[in-house]
Amino acid sequence: MIGIVVGGERVLQATERNRPFPPDIRSWEVLLARSAGWQPSIRRPLPSNEVLWRAYVQLQTVVRVTQAARAHQPYPDLRLCQL
């Protein structure tokens, strides 16, 4: 789900978009934090707990809204419901 959200929000650079997703948890943490607007730097290579929590809440909101839109389809042509 993190990969879908990060890809949909165009967080990745053009050179990173075609690569497979990383196998380690640190890279997933960085991707999750980048979806919330965090940018890695030399002094802060990993995000703080606050940034991860904020990104996690945003991810859960996206998941819940998508599930609710799929369950309740008031308009058959709504693209979000057709995912």
Of the ranges 1-5, 6-10, 27-31, the best mean pLDDT one: 27-31
In this predicted structure, what is the pLDDT of residue 31? 82
Residue 53 pLDDT class (50, 70, 90 cuts) = very high
In this predicted structure, what is the pLDDT of residue 13? 66
Q: 79, 67 in Cβ contact below 8 A?
A: no
Question: Quick check: pTM over 0.85?
Answer: no
Q: What is the mean pLDDT of residues 63-80?
A: 71
Written as six digits, the tokens of 59 are 């991810």
Q: What is the DSSP string of 9-22?
A: TT-S-TTTTTSPPP
Residue 61 pLDDT class (50, 70, 90 cuts) = confident
Spell out a b/e string for 42-59, using b for 16 or more CB atoms within 10 Å of the CB, else e.
Answer: eeeeebeeebbebbeebb
Reply yes or no on whether the pLDDT at 26 is more than 80.
yes
